[in-house]
Structures are given as C-alpha cells and as structure tokens.
Chain A
Amino acid sequence: MASDRIFGLVVVIGALAFFAGALAIQTSFMSDPLGPRVFPILISGASLLCGLAMLARPDPDPEWPARAAWMSMSVALVVLVAYAYTIVPLGFLIPTAIASAAIGYLIEPKAVQSAVMGAALSVVLFVIFKFGLGLGLFAFPRALMG
C-alpha cells in the first residue's frame, strides 16, 4: 500500500512538473495549428490521472529487498558509474576487470573466484571486441600507449 501511495504521489508531482515544463516550451510564430505544447500537455494530463488512480487504489506492497541487498545494489551502481567515467581515460582492460570482478562478487561473494573471472573476462572480451569484431578499443591508458 505505502509503496504505491508514494509512487502515485511522485507520478502526480512529476505530471505537474511536466505540465509546467510544457507551458515553458518556446514556440515560434510559424508554428502549426497545434504547436509544440499541446501533446506534452495531453501526456501530463494522462499521467496525472494514472497517478491519482494509483493513489486511490494502491496495489499490495512488493517484497522490497533487505538492507544488505540495498547496500550491494548501491555498490553496484557506484561501480557502474565509475566504469562509465573510467573506460575512456584508463583504457578497456583495467576498468573492465575491476567492474566485472565487483559485479561477480556482489552476486556470489567469493573474492578469488571473482578476481580471476574479472581478469579473464576482460581479456577475452577485449580480444573478441577488438580483433573479432574490429571495434576501436584501447587496451591501456592512451597516455601510456603514446
């Protein structure tokens, strides 16, 4: 119940924000009869109804994960974001090995097994992507490669 109430509220607020955003859209004097605002306004209206329906008739709560699982998922999120930022400056191999090992460890917490898997996966995927599929990847930091 509570989850759907909160979600419904978020949807309602989001729909109102989307409506405000639609009013702020610049329009040009050369526009068609409908203009760029009407369709977004229709969408915000429909979402508003959906949000209100969820508030009025919430479903039973889903089974939310325990605190430990939340922690694991947050760590995974941080790892993924860090991976997105580092893959260009640091090259493919090192970030991939670390990120794969981390995700493997989060699914099955065995340190050595994950580390070996991460390193192996990173090398195998690099060979497949670079030489099998011909993608333009760099193995190591470009600064080192010259």
Chain B
Amino acid sequence: MDTLANLAMGFGVALTPYTLFLAFCGCFLGTIIGALPGLGPSNGVAILIPLAFALGLDATQALVLLTSVYYGTMYGGRISSILLNIPGDEPAMMTTLDGFPMARQGRAGDALVISGVASFTGSFLSTVGLVVIAPILASIAYLFGPAEYFALYLLAFATLGGMTSNNQAKSAFAACLGLGLAMIGLDNSTGLPRYTGGNLHLMDGIDFLVAIVGLFAIAEIFIFIESHGRNSAIGVTLGKLTIPWGDLKATFGTMMRSTGLGFVAGVLPGAGASLGSFMAYMAEKSYVGAKGNFGKGDPRGVAAPEAGNNAAAGGAMVPMLTLGVPGSGTTAVMLALLMTLNITPGPLLFKEQPEIVWGLIASLFIANIVLLIMNVPMVKLFVKILMVPAWVLMPMVTMVSFVGIFSLTGSYFDMLLMIAFGVLGYILRKLDVPTVPVILGILLGGQMEDALRRAMVISNGDWTFLFSTPIAVGLWAFAVLGFLAPMFLRKMLKRPPVPDSANED
C-alpha cells in the first residue's frame, strides 16, 4: 500500500498541464532523435541536458522532459530499422532482422504498429517492475558502507565494457581514462589543486556535460564527415496504416516473455538495452523453434527485440536510482542529469526526496502512454522527418551542442574542451575503445575516491577493511568474475567448432 501511496504522490507531482506539455515535447523529440540514424539515446539526451538547464526548468520538469526523450528514443529506433534496414540506434539492431523483411513484403505499417505496441508493453511492465523492485533494493542498499560502495563502483567498471567491447584491456583503459580525468580540479578533502597545470579554468574540474556532448555528439560529426553521410535515409514508402489485431494477439506471449528477459538484462550491471534486445530475440527464436519464420519477416521477430530493449531500458533505471551506479550508456547520461540537478541517486534519495523518485517514476508511466498514443497514428510524420539529409542534420547537431554548452557555462574554454573531447571520441571509436566507461569514470571518479578514502579513515589505513563484510567480498568476486568471464566466453562463442579429424593427430 505504501508503494501505491507513493505512486499517487508521484503522479500528483508529475501531472500538471505544464509537465504534460513537456512530456509531450520530450516524447516527440525523443522519437525523432531515436529514429534518425547517427543520433541515439545517449547523444540525444546528452545534447538536450544543457538546454534543459538553460531553460531554467526545475528538477521535476527537467526530469520529465528528459526521461520522455529517453523513452522516446527507445521507441524511435525501430522506425528506421524497419523502413531502412538501418538501426536508428544500437538497441534497435535486432529489429532490422525481421522488421525490414516485413517492410519489403509491404507490411511496413503492420511491423511499425506491432513494434510500437511491443515497445509499450516492454517499457510499461518494466516500469511496474521498477516500482516493485527499486524500494526493496534501496532498503538493502542501506547496508552499504564505503567499502561496499568502492567494490560496487569497481563492479560497474569491470562489467560495463564486458559484454559489448571486444578487448578487455581497452574497456578497462577507458574506465581509467575517465577516472583520471575526474581527478582534475581541487581535491575534495585537502582543497589543493590536482592536475590543473596552473590553469584556472580547470580548478573546478571538467564538467561531465562537456565531456558527454563532446564524446557523443561532436565525435559523431567527424564520423559523418569521414563517411560522407552515407548512412542517411532516402526513398521511404509507407502505405495505409491499419491495426493488425490478429498479429497483436499472436505476439502477446512473445511480448511477455521478452519483457521478462529484457528487464533482467537491464537490471544486471553492464548489460543494458542492446543485450536485452539480443537476448529476447535469440530466446524467442529458439522457443518457437522450426515453426517460426525468423529472419524472413516473422512478426514475433519484431515484437521480441522491441519489447526486450524497452524493458531493459526500464530495468536499467533500477541500479541507477537505488545505488547511483548506472548499467548502460544512456543511464550514465541520466545519472549526469541527476547530478547536475544536485540530486544524488542512492538509497537516501528514496527516503529524503521521495517526491523526486516517485515523480520520475510517474513521468515514466506518462511518457509511455503519450508515446503509444503518439507513435501509432503519427508514425507517418516521423517517417517524413526521417528524410532529413545528413548535411542538414549534422550542422544542426553541432550548433545545438555548442549553444547548449555555451549557455550552460558561458565560457569559450568549455567549448574548446568539448571539441577536444570530440576528437578524442573519434580516435577512441576508431580504435574500438568504448566511450561509455570514460563518461562513467568522469561521473563517478570523485565518489569512488571518496568511498575509498572514507573506508581508510574508518579503518585507519588498513586495506583489509575493503574485504571485511560478506557484501563487499561478494561484490569483489562479481567484479573479478564479470571482468574475466567475457574473455573466456568470447573465445568459446567465436571459435568455430573443431572438426573431429583435427583431434586425431
């Protein structure tokens, strides 16, 4: 009952005409951002954060706007997957497998409606899951002291690169790079400068928004210039839209199963939406077995990944809100948003600022419903917007990034820093070094060091204190396991099965 009362309070905070208007704007923008190839959930939300501040929105309003954008991008990614065979963002990759064949069979409209409903099911139910699980996890998180938090941060860094990157050394380096950048500025406890080189601009440290916009948005500009915008959209046709009730009924079970899987993938650290949609698709394929028409336009192949990735997006909010440790790139950006709003996620948030948590959760529900209403009938409009060519889109992204950072900090130094991060992001992308751990390092570096130093204050410099409780030891074990496991799993997955004859000699 407590939960329901809290939820009612959340809706009280989030259901004002102005916030509804913001939710509507956010959903609209988010769907467009998700649909446009080259703009995904992370960089889409990133370039809008500075603008949300420049607008002078209060915490709840900013949260409503940007969570709507976040959820909107998860819906939007499917549009270009289905119509163009180009995933609008990474999690929508699996949707191309059956979505595009459906579009070629003239069933683009059906595929869009099915995936829209699947997206809704996935994210709505996972938000319900968030409501149920988050308070429980928050009450466990109360037991966490500095030693546990240090281990938890380590776990987040160890697993974040794991599943998506190909080289553990590179993802570990990315985390170190971020942590190192977080050291720049005044030291919290002694007040003395570190790594500033005497530069006054660096005394406050590097603003993580500058780093995020640089690494995600400005780096994308270089990628587009290199490829001459070859990935942009041309020639899309979409017939009359009808609602395929039969298919919706037939895929109901698929949506439910995929939602469950996706949610679990989202809650686990380091998995995120891409893995959620991948797992959901593969599981559904093997569940249906030979009867299925997967890869050739099976509606279940559209419903499964979409429900999976949206459910994972909701699930990823659980560790971010309760522990302050995001499990994916986009939740890292959401954490940046909360930190700029001076909100520290974690168990205390549930106790001390319940109106923020529950307002946020209520706004997730609102965003979902707005998105369903918007996405099914208005999909034609989004398809039109999808035709914006890269040579218009990229200058626009550049200018919005610059204006956002400029109006946030008002300094040319930060704009230069943003460009530098853009160059760094391009080089890292080329070398297959993931950029999300860099962001997470910059975001969490200060807190991670604080946790370690507080632990040492408590134990008076005794390092064994870090392993003194069962929770801490467990987290360390998972961190080591999470870091090492992908190395072996990757070998097993990629190495082709050895033919029998090879074993004889």
CB of B234 closer than 8 Å to a CB of A:
no
CB of B352 closer than 8 Å to a CB of A:
no
Closest approach, in angstroms, between the C-beta of A110 and any C-beta of chain B?
8
CB of A18 closer than 8 Å to a CB of B:
yes
Contact B453 A104 (CB under 8 A): no
CB of A13 closer than 8 Å to a CB of B:
no
Contact A135 B407 (CB under 8 A): yes
CB of B286 closer than 8 Å to a CB of A:
no
CB of B106 closer than 8 Å to a CB of A:
no
Q: DSSP majority for the A interface?
A: helix
Can you give 19 A-B contacts (C-beta < 8 A)? A28-B190, A32-B453, A32-B456, A32-B457, A39-B183, A50-B170, A51-B173, A54-B167, A62-B431, A73-B426, A80-B422, A81-B419, A96-B399, A99-B399, A107-B391, A108-B389, A114-B391, A136-B407, A137-B403
* B interface residues, Cβ below 8 angstroms from A: 51, 54-55, 166-170, 172-173, 176-177, 179-180, 183, 187, 189-195, 218, 221-222, 224-226, 228-229, 389-392, 394-396, 398-400, 402-403, 406-407, 412, 415-416, 419, 422-423, 426, 430-432, 448-449, 452-453, 456-457, 460-461
Q: Which 7 A-B pairs have the closest CB atoms?
A: A100-B395, A53-B169, A84-B415, A50-B173, A33-B461, A108-B391, A47-B176
Contact B190 A27 (CB under 8 A): yes
Q: How long is the Cα–Cα vector from A80 to B406 in the complex, in angstroms?
A: 13
Contact B412 A88 (CB under 8 A): yes
- Name the residue on A nearest B459 (C-beta): A33
19 additional A-B pairs beyond A40-B195, A80-B398, A125-B399, beta carbons within 8 Å, are A3-B431, A7-B431, A25-B194, A33-B456, A36-B192, A39-B448, A44-B180, A46-B172, A50-B172, A50-B173, A54-B169, A72-B226, A76-B222, A77-B419, A83-B415, A108-B389, A110-B391, A113-B391, A125-B396
Interface size class of A (residues with CB under 8 A): 35 or more
Closest approach, in angstroms, between the C-beta of A52 and any C-beta of chain B?
8
Contact A84 B395 (CB under 8 A): no
Contact A133 B395 (CB under 8 A): no
* A interface residues, Cβ below 8 angstroms from B: 3-4, 7, 11, 15, 18, 21, 25-28, 30-36, 38-40, 43-44, 46-47, 49-51, 53-54, 57, 59, 62, 64-65, 69, 72-73, 76-77, 80-81, 83-85, 87-88, 96, 99-101, 103-108, 110, 113-114, 117-118, 121-122, 125, 129, 133-137
Contacts of A69 in B (CB 8 A): 225-226
Q: How long is the Cα–Cα vector from A129 to B214 in the complex, in angstroms?
A: 20
Contact B225 A73 (CB under 8 A): yes
Known contacts A39-B452, A59-B167; A54 and B194 CB within 8 A of each other: no
Contact A77 B423 (CB under 8 A): yes
Q: How long is the Cα–Cα vector from A59 to B248 in the complex, in angstroms?
A: 45
Closest approach, in angstroms, between the C-beta of A14 and any C-beta of chain B?
8
Q: Which of B51, B189, B195, B460 contacts A133, CB < 8 Å? A: B51
Closest approach, in angstroms, between the C-beta of B105 and any C-beta of chain A?
32
- Name the residue on B nearest A83 (C-beta): B402
Q: Which of B192, B403, B406 contacts A25, CB < 8 Å? A: B192
Contact B176 A87 (CB under 8 A): no
Q: DSSP majority for the B interface?
A: helix
Contact B403 A129 (CB under 8 A): yes
Contacts of B453 in A (CB 8 A): 32-34, 39
Contact B222 A73 (CB under 8 A): yes
Closest approach, in angstroms, between the C-beta of A114 and any C-beta of chain B?
7
Closest approach, in angstroms, between the C-beta of A120 and any C-beta of chain B?
9
Contacts of B229 in A (CB 8 A): 107-108
Q: How long is the Cα–Cα vector from A85 to B167 in the complex, in angstroms?
A: 38
Contact B406 A87 (CB under 8 A): yes
Q: How long is the Cα–Cα vector from A18 to B173 in the complex, in angstroms?
A: 13
- Name the residue on B nearest A52 (C-beta): B169
Q: How long is the Cα–Cα vector from A122 to B395 in the complex, in angstroms?
A: 10
Contacts of B415 in A (CB 8 A): 83-84, 87
- Name the residue on A nearest B450 (C-beta): A39
Q: Which of A32, A38, A51, A104 contacts B395, CB < 8 Å? A: A104
Contact B412 A103 (CB under 8 A): no
